[in-house]
Amino acid sequence: MTSTVLVVTALEDFTADKVIAALNERDVPVVRLDPAGIGPALAFGFRIGEDSPAWGGRLRTGSREVELGEVAAVYYRRPTPYAARFGHLSPQQRDFCVAEARHGLGGVLNHLHGATYVNHPAAVTAADFKPAQLQRFTELGLTIPPTLVTNDTEAVHKFAAEHEHIIYKPFRGLPAGEDGHAGAIWAQRVNPDSFDDSLAVTAHLFQAEIPKTGDVRVTVVGAKVFAQQIAAPDGALDWRRGDWDELIHAPITVPAPVEAALHSYLASFNLVFGCFDFALTGDGDDPGHWTAIECNPNGQWGWLPDAEQITEAFADILSRKEAAGHDHARRL
């Protein structure tokens, strides 16, 4: 039986392009689709019953066609939200169509029998909450920054009094504005005396500023670990805010206890892959100098110097040349 890889992502996705190219070089069949393209260019007919206890049937895109039983792995990247497909409808019609598409098409694609998911969208959703991430880090023995989640100015003032400097960071990125472009709020040092009662409107994340000597991005794909120390030329608190082409990278070895914790972290959230950010507070050889900041369960890595090796690691798992690990959580 043909082992096809289903790549679920938007039309423009540089990271997915790299993995698809690697799979093509291995002669692994690939079908790429964006579920938000549902319509004449994305058609399907799925069945299940007593004679076929797993979902079967064919899915057809503008250029490919696949039988569900042929799908051995699903690379779930960054599909377009369903709402974009139905934006021209009235709010009630739009919400109905979005829910029907997500529960119908999405409900089948997310439950393909025997398929390896990298990563399963349900696992990504569960692992996407920063409070859950920080708690799991501490449970695994990793150091984290003292953190406050609040909407109360008094709580912020008390927290600030306990630390020399505090920073603010959002839980999520800014949504797209009226022009369709999304923005960003970078981690930044804040003065709690500048806050007023408007703080009560929503939740905020504050952390003690770490006296870091550097930053590290660790990309874990299955059993493979790729780590780069990152420095911004201007010494910015948040290296993501500037020109990524100007960043300075250097390979770094992850201490064994930290690496073991990262594998345990992914397994606990049923993830195959994750991008971890750390702040170094001294010698990189000392696990105690690695402060865990966050894990993006669907992070970008195509810009890293070791992107080619990471690409091959993805291709290994998707073509099943390497076990994903924690198999019962990956395959349905």
Q: What tens digit of pLDDT does each residue of 83-103 get?
A: 889 989 999 999 999 999 999
pTM of the model: 0.91
Q: How confident is the model at residue 331 (pLDDT cuts 50, 70, 90)?
A: low
Task: Specify whether the CB–CB gap between 46 and 108 falls below 8 A.
Answer: yes
Q: Is the pLDDT of residue 327 over 60?
A: no
Sheet holding 290-296, edge to edge: 248-251, 224-231, 214-221, 273-280, 290-296
Contacts of 161 (CB under 8 A, 6+ apart): none
From CA 301, how far away is CA 305, in angstroms rounded? 9
CA angle 99, 105, 106 (to 5 degrees): 75
- What pLDDT is attached to residue 185? 79
Closest to 272 in 3D by CA, of 260, 280, 263:
263
Q: Is the pLDDT of residue 328 over 50?
A: no
pLDDT tens for 271-286 read 999 999 999 998 888 8
Contacts of 239 (CB under 8 A, 6+ apart): 215, 230, 231, 232, 247
From CA 269, how far away is CA 117, in angstroms rounded? 13
Average pLDDT over residues 121-145: 96
Which CATH number does 146-208 carry? 3.30.1490
- What pLDDT is attached to residue 237? 79
Task: Specify whether the CB–CB gap between 32 and 11 falls below 8 A.
Answer: no
Average pLDDT over residues 12-25: 95
- What pLDDT is attached to residue 325? 58
Q: Is the pLDDT of residue 198 over 80?
A: yes
- What pLDDT is attached to residue 173? 75
Q: Which two tokens stand for residue 113?
A: 């029998």
pLDDT tens for 288-308 read 899 999 999 999 999 999 999
Task: Look at the block and give the residue holding tokens 């880090």.
Answer: 137
Which CATH number does 211-318 carry? 3.30.470.20
Q: Which two tokens stand for residue 188?
A: 């930044």
How far is C-alpha 216 from the geometric centre of its chain's CA atoms?
17
Contacts of 231 (CB under 8 A, 6+ apart): 214, 215, 239, 247, 248
From CA 227, how far away is CA 253, in angstroms rounded? 7
Q: Where are the domains of the chain?
A: 4-114, 146-208, 211-318
pLDDT tens for 53-94 read 889 999 999 889 999 999 999 999 999 999 889 989 999 999
Q: Is the pLDDT of residue 235 over 80?
A: no
Task: Specify whether the CB–CB gap between 166 and 159 falls below 8 A.
Answer: yes
Strands 273-280 and 65-67: unpaired
From CA 117, how far away is CA 225, in angstroms rounded? 19
Q: Is the pLDDT of residue 2 over 90?
A: no
From CA 122, how far away is CA 124, in angstroms rounded? 5
